[in-house]
Chain A
Amino acid sequence: MNSIPAVLAKAQLKQNRRRTLITMIGIVLSVSMLTAVCGFAVSGIEAMRSLVGDGYIEAYQSMFISMAAVLGAIIMAASVVVISNAFRISASERLRQFGILKSVGATRRQIMKTMLYEALYLSCIAIPLGIVVGLLIQWLGTSIGDMLLAPMNKLIVDGLSIHMRFVFSWASILIALALSLGTILLSAWLPARKAARIPAIEAIRLTQEIRVRKKRLKTSRLVRTLFGFEGTLAAKSIKRSRGSYRAMVIALAISIILFLVCGSMDSLLTMTVNQLYANIDANTLTTFSSNSSASEYYGQTLGSSDAEPITEALRAYPDTQIYGVGVEAGYTLGVSSADLTGALLKTLDEGQTTVGAVLVTVDRAHYEAICKAAGAAVGSNILINSAQGAISNKSTEFQPLRFSGQTLTLSKNDVSVEVPLDAQLAGAQVPQEVFYSADGNPIIVVVPDCAPRLYYWYGSSADLSGFLSYAETTMAAFFPVAEGSDAFVYSVLDVSSVTDMTRSLSKLVTIFLYGFVGMLALIGLTSVISAISTNVRLRAREFAALRSVGMTQGGLRRMLALESVMSALKALLYGLPIGSLAVYLTYRALTIKGQFQFIYPWATLAEVAAGVFLITLITTQYAAAKLRGGNIIEAIRSNEGI
Chain B
Amino acid sequence: MSILQVEDLTKIYGKGDAAVTALDGVSFSVDKGEFVAVVGASGSGKSTLMHLIGGVERPTGGRVTVDGKDIFTLNESRLAIFRRRNIGLIYQFYNLIPTLTAEENIMLPYLLDGRKPDPKKLDEILELLGLADRREHLPGQLSGGQQQRVSIGRALINDPAVILADEPTGNLDSHRSRSILELLKLSNRQFHQTLLVITHDEKIALQADRILTIGDGRILHDEAVRA
B170 sits at the interface (CB 8 A):
no
> Distance in Å from the Cβ of A474 to the closest Cβ of chain B?
85
Residue in A8, A96, A108, A199 whose beta carbon sits within 8 Å of that of B100 in the complex: A8
Within 8 A of B (CB), among A576-621: none
Within 8 A of A (CB), among B43-87: 51, 54, 56-57, 76-77, 80-85, 87
* Residue count of chain B within 8 Å CB distance of chain A: 33
The closest CB in chain B to the CB of A642 belongs to B98
A396 sits at the interface (CB 8 A):
no
B109 sits at the interface (CB 8 A):
yes
Does A105 contact B97, Cβ atoms closer than 8 Å?
Answer: no
Residue in B51, B82, B97, B113 whose beta carbon sits within 8 Å of that of A100 in the complex: B97
Does B84 contact A104, Cβ atoms closer than 8 Å?
Answer: yes
Does B140 contact A104, Cβ atoms closer than 8 Å?
Answer: no
Jot down 21 A-B pairs with beta carbons below 8 A, ordered by A: A3-B111, A11-B99, A12-B99, A99-B95, A100-B95, A100-B97, A103-B54, A103-B83, A104-B89, A104-B109, A104-B154, A105-B113, A106-B80, A107-B80, A108-B76, A108-B80, A199-B56, A201-B57, A204-B91, A641-B147, A642-B98
> Distance in Å from the Cβ of A19 to the closest Cβ of chain B?
14
Within 8 A of B (CB), among A510-559: none
A485 sits at the interface (CB 8 A):
no
B184 sits at the interface (CB 8 A):
no
Within 8 A of B (CB), among A299-334: none
Does A7 contact B114, Cβ atoms closer than 8 Å?
Answer: no
Does B112 contact A110, Cβ atoms closer than 8 Å?
Answer: yes
Within 8 A of A (CB), among B13-27: none
Within 8 A of B (CB), among A160-202: 199-201
A residues bordering B, Cβ < 8 Å? 3-4, 7-8, 11-12, 14-15, 96-97, 99-110, 199-201, 204, 640-642
> Distance in Å from the Cβ of A442 to the closest Cβ of chain B?
77
> Distance in Å from the Cβ of A60 to the closest Cβ of chain B?
53
Query: How long is the Cα–Cα vector from A107 to B74 in the complex, in angstroms?
Result: 13
Closest 8 CB pairs of A and B: A105-B84, A11-B99, A107-B77, A105-B83, A4-B111, A200-B56, A100-B95, A107-B80
Query: How long is the Cα–Cα vector from A103 to B100 in the complex, in angstroms?
Result: 16
> Distance in Å from the Cβ of A70 to the closest Cβ of chain B?
41
Residue in B81, B95, B97, B108 whose beta carbon sits within 8 Å of that of A204 in the complex: B95
Does B114 contact A102, Cβ atoms closer than 8 Å?
Answer: no
B167 sits at the interface (CB 8 A):
no
B96 sits at the interface (CB 8 A):
yes
> Distance in Å from the Cβ of A640 to the closest Cβ of chain B?
8
Does A201 contact B56, Cβ atoms closer than 8 Å?
Answer: yes
Give every chain A residue within 8 A of B80 (Cβ-Cβ): 102, 105-108
Given contacts A109-B77, A201-B56, A204-B95, contact A103 B89 (CB under 8 A): yes
Give every chain B residue within 8 A of A106 (Cβ-Cβ): 80, 84, 112
Does A101 contact B77, Cβ atoms closer than 8 Å?
Answer: no
Does B140 contact A641, Cβ atoms closer than 8 Å?
Answer: yes
List 20 additional contacts besides A101-B97, A106-B84; criterion CB under 8 Å.
Answer: A8-B100, A11-B100, A15-B99, A97-B98, A100-B96, A103-B83, A104-B84, A104-B112, A105-B81, A105-B84, A105-B109, A106-B80, A107-B76, A107-B77, A110-B112, A200-B57, A204-B56, A641-B93, A641-B140, A642-B139
B residues bordering A, Cβ < 8 Å? 51, 54, 56-57, 76-77, 80-85, 87, 89, 91, 93, 95-100, 104, 108-109, 111-114, 139-140, 147, 154
Query: How long is the Cα–Cα vector from A106 to B82 in the complex, in angstroms?
Result: 10
Main secondary structure of the interface of B (DSSP, over half): helix
Give every chain A residue within 8 A of B139 (Cβ-Cβ): 641-642
Give every chain A residue within 8 A of B113 (Cβ-Cβ): 105
The closest CB in chain A to the CB of B77 belongs to A107
> Distance in Å from the Cβ of B142 to the closest Cβ of chain A?
10
> Distance in Å from the Cβ of A337 to the closest Cβ of chain B?
83
Give every chain A residue within 8 A of B56 (Cβ-Cβ): 102-103, 199-201, 204
The closest CB in chain B to the CB of A3 belongs to B114
> Distance in Å from the Cβ of A59 to the closest Cβ of chain B?
53
Query: How long is the Cα–Cα vector from A354 to B133 in the complex, in angstroms?
Result: 102
> Distance in Å from the Cβ of B170 to the closest Cβ of chain A?
13
Give every chain A residue within 8 A of B93 (Cβ-Cβ): 640-642
Give every chain B residue within 8 A of A7 (Cβ-Cβ): 100, 104, 111
Query: How long is the Cα–Cα vector from A641 to B112 in the complex, in angstroms?
Result: 23
The closest CB in chain A to the CB of B98 belongs to A642
> Distance in Å from the Cβ of A201 to the closest Cβ of chain B?
5
The closest CB in chain B to the CB of A96 belongs to B95
Query: How long is the Cα–Cα vector from A489 to B71 in the complex, in angstroms?
Result: 96
The closest CB in chain B to the CB of A204 belongs to B95
Does A8 contact B81, Cβ atoms closer than 8 Å?
Answer: no
Give every chain B residue within 8 A of A15 (Cβ-Cβ): 98-99
Does B97 contact A108, Cβ atoms closer than 8 Å?
Answer: no
Query: How long is the Cα–Cα vector from A472 to B23 in the complex, in angstroms?
Result: 103
Query: How long is the Cα–Cα vector from A109 to B114 in the complex, in angstroms?
Result: 13
Given contacts A103-B83, A107-B81, A201-B56, contact A4 B108 (CB under 8 A): yes
Query: How long is the Cα–Cα vector from A106 to B114 in the complex, in angstroms?
Result: 11
Give every chain A residue within 8 A of B154 (Cβ-Cβ): 104
Give every chain B residue within 8 A of A641 (Cβ-Cβ): 93, 139-140, 147
> Distance in Å from the Cβ of A537 to the closest Cβ of chain B?
14
Give every chain A residue within 8 A of B85 (Cβ-Cβ): 105
The closest CB in chain B to the CB of A100 belongs to B95
Query: How long is the Cα–Cα vector from A8 to B112 in the complex, in angstroms?
Result: 11
Query: How long is the Cα–Cα vector from A108 to B96 in the complex, in angstroms?
Result: 19
Query: How long is the Cα–Cα vector from A11 to B101 in the complex, in angstroms?
Result: 11
Does A105 contact B112, Cβ atoms closer than 8 Å?
Answer: yes
The closest CB in chain A to the CB of B104 belongs to A7
> Distance in Å from the Cβ of B139 to the closest Cβ of chain A?
8
Give every chain A residue within 8 A of B108 (Cβ-Cβ): 4, 101, 104
Query: How long is the Cα–Cα vector from A254 to B140 in the complex, in angstroms?
Result: 42
Query: How long is the Cα–Cα vector from A145 to B108 in the complex, in angstroms?
Result: 57
Give every chain A residue within 8 A of B104 (Cβ-Cβ): 7
Does B99 contact A199, Cβ atoms closer than 8 Å?
Answer: no
> Distance in Å from the Cβ of A529 to the closest Cβ of chain B?
23
Query: How long is the Cα–Cα vector from A641 to B111 in the complex, in angstroms?
Result: 23
Does B83 contact A97, Cβ atoms closer than 8 Å?
Answer: no
Residue of B54, B111, B113 with most chain A CB atoms under a 10 A cut-off: B111
Give every chain B residue within 8 A of A642 (Cβ-Cβ): 93, 95-96, 98, 139
Query: How long is the Cα–Cα vector from A15 to B100 in the complex, in angstroms?
Result: 11
Does B97 contact A97, Cβ atoms closer than 8 Å?
Answer: yes
> Distance in Å from the Cβ of A504 to the closest Cβ of chain B?
55
Residue in A100, A104, A199 whose beta carbon sits within 8 Å of that of B57 in the complex: A199
Query: How long is the Cα–Cα vector from A567 to B111 in the complex, in angstroms?
Result: 44
> Distance in Å from the Cβ of A13 to the closest Cβ of chain B?
10
Query: How long is the Cα–Cα vector from A357 to B36 in the complex, in angstroms?
Result: 108
Give every chain A residue within 8 A of B51 (Cβ-Cβ): 201
Does B57 contact A101, Cβ atoms closer than 8 Å?
Answer: no
Give every chain A residue within 8 A of B82 (Cβ-Cβ): 105
Query: How long is the Cα–Cα vector from A109 to B77 in the complex, in angstroms?
Result: 8
> Distance in Å from the Cβ of B112 to the closest Cβ of chain A?
5
Query: How long is the Cα–Cα vector from A199 to B147 in the complex, in angstroms?
Result: 24
> Distance in Å from the Cβ of B63 to the closest Cβ of chain A?
19
